[in-house]
């Protein structure tokens, strides 16, 4: 069998064509005879790595059901009220676990972090692999206890929602902080996140594999060949780039950070709400710290007031 080198995709039109084409799918993560309740089983069961269109649609519907229970406004508020200084990955998962009614949100967060190390195919040490398998088994139990899903395939999608939110949302917040170290610019956290998703997204490459020879957009892909979409380079440059060639309607998406087409991330609203909440928390903490510093400086310069009303 001939193995073809991956094809880099940097033009917006080609990227959209690839992402919209249902026959092009993320590289599958099927492992023969994967033990039930293991990391390998999870990767082979979630919609994220499912190539078969009918199976993917069924699994994605389960994920959408889980996401329907997660109100972005409530998630944003919960993230904004979270503790400063904690690991963003833990905070993201803890907020989601609480919203889903799962027992032990801190334990859920630890389990999801253990899984995320190998969820996208990263190599794990034997100890890490064992911990990840144990974490998947635990999350299946906790999902059932939350009144979630007795059906293991449906439960896998809920776990997938948690894992896929873990690292990506935390990286989005990290990139936003690096982009605006003094806090969000005019327009607030939402405008900052939109800019970061366009220029410095947490996921920089999207992969799609061709199961057979196919022409998509201006690309000719051979069977088994992978298209590597550069999310930053392929982002639309102007509103005209986002015009649907058939209807003429504008696509409001100014980036490809969440993908597009049948495998587009279904949790975009929840991820952005969590990220915005964490940035709002940071801004509030910075403002409080600044006020305390100013007060301490004033006291040191002028001394404490004897007026009881000013001391109150």
User: Do 48 and 188 have their domain in common?
Assistant: yes
> Which residue carries 């049948």 as its tokens?
262
CA 91 – CA 163 distance, rounded (Å): 13
Tell me the β-bridge partners of 206.
Answer: 229
Same domain assignment for residues 102 and 251:
no
Instruction: Identify how many contiguous H helices and E strands the chain contains and give both numbers.
Output: 11, 5
Pair 255, 126 in one domain:
no
Residues 171 and 49 in one domain: yes
Domain stops at, among 266, 285, 302: 266
Burial class of residue 266, CB neighbours in 10 A (0-12, 13-18, 19+): buried
| Number of separate domains in the chain | 2
Residue 113 shares a structural domain with residue 11: no
Rounded Cα distance between 137 and 39, Å, is 9
Mark whether 85 and 6 lie in a shared domain. no
Are residues 45 and 117 part of one domain? yes
- pTM equals 0.86
Q: 228 and 251 in one domain?
A: yes
Pull the structure tokens for residue 234: 């392929």
Q: What is the pLDDT along the chain (312 residues), one digit of tens a residue?
A: 688 999 999 999 999 999 999 989 887 766 667 888 999 999 999 999 988 889 999 999 999 999 998 999 999 999 999 999 889 999 999 999 999 999 999 999 999 999 999 999 889 999 999 999 999 999 999 998 876 556 899 999 999 999 999 999 999 999 999 999 988 888 899 999 999 999 999 999 999 999 999 999 999 999 999 999 999 999 987 544 554 444 444 455 679 999 999 999 999 999 999 999 999 999 876 655 455 454 455 556 655 555 555 444
Q: Which domain holds residue 248?
A: 1-24+210-266
Nearest Cα to Cα of residue 177 among 38, 111, 84: 84
Residues 39 and 146 in one domain: yes
- Same domain, residue pair 182 and 224: no
CATH code for the domain in which residue 141 is found? 1.10.630
| Burial environment of residue 166 by CB neighbours within 10 A (0 to 12, 13 to 18, 19 or more) | buried
Domain boundary among 266, 281, 302: 266
Rounded CA-CA distance 198/71 in Å is 25
What residues are paired with 9 via a beta bridge?
A: 229
In this structure, are residues 129 and 118 in contact, taking their beta carbons and an 8 Å threshold? Answer: yes
Burial class (CB in 10 A: 0-12, 13-18, 19+), 101: middle
Are 262 and 274 within one domain?
Answer: no
124 contacts 118 by C-beta, under 8 angstroms: yes
Q: Is the domain of 38 the same as that of 138?
A: yes
């Amino acid at each position: 069998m001939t193995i073809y080198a991956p094809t880099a995709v940097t033009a917006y039109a080609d990227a959209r064509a690839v992402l919209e084409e249902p026959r092009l799918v993320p590289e599958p993560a099927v492992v023969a005879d994967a033990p039930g309740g293991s990391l390998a089983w999870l990767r082979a069961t979630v919609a994220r790595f499912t190539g078969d269109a009918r199976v993917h649609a069924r699994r994605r519907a389960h994920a959408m059901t889980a996401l329907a229970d997660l109100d972005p406004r409530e998630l944003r508020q919960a993230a904004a009220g979270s503790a400063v200084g904690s690991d963003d990955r833990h905070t993201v998962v803890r907020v989601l676990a609480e919203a889903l009614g799962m027992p032990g949100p801190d334990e859920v967060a630890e389990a999801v972090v253990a899984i995320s190390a190998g969820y996208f195919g990263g190599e794990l040490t034997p100890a890490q692999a064992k911990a990840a398998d144990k974490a998947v088994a635990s999350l299946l139990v906790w999902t059932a206890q939350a009144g979630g899903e007795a059906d293991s395939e449906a439960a896998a999608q809920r776990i997938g929602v948690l894992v896929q939110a873990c690292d990506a949302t935390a990286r989005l917040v990290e990139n936003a902080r690096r982009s605006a170290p003094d806090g969000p610019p005019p327009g607030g956290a939402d405008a900052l996140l939109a800019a970061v998703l366009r220029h410095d997204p947490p996921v920089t490459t999207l992969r799609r594999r061709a199961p057979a020879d196919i022409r998509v957009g201006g690309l000719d892909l051979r069977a088994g060949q992978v298209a590597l979409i550069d999310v930053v380079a392929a982002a639309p440059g102007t509103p005209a780039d986002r015009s649907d060639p058939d209807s003429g309607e504008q696509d409001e998406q100014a980036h490809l950070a969440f993908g597009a087409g049948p495998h587009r991330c279904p949790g975009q609203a929840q991820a952005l709400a969590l990220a915005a909440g964490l940035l709002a928390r940071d801004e509030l903490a910075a403002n409080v710290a600044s006020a305390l510093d100013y007060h301490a400086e004033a006291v040191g310069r002028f001394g404490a007031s004897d007026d009881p009303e000013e001391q109150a």
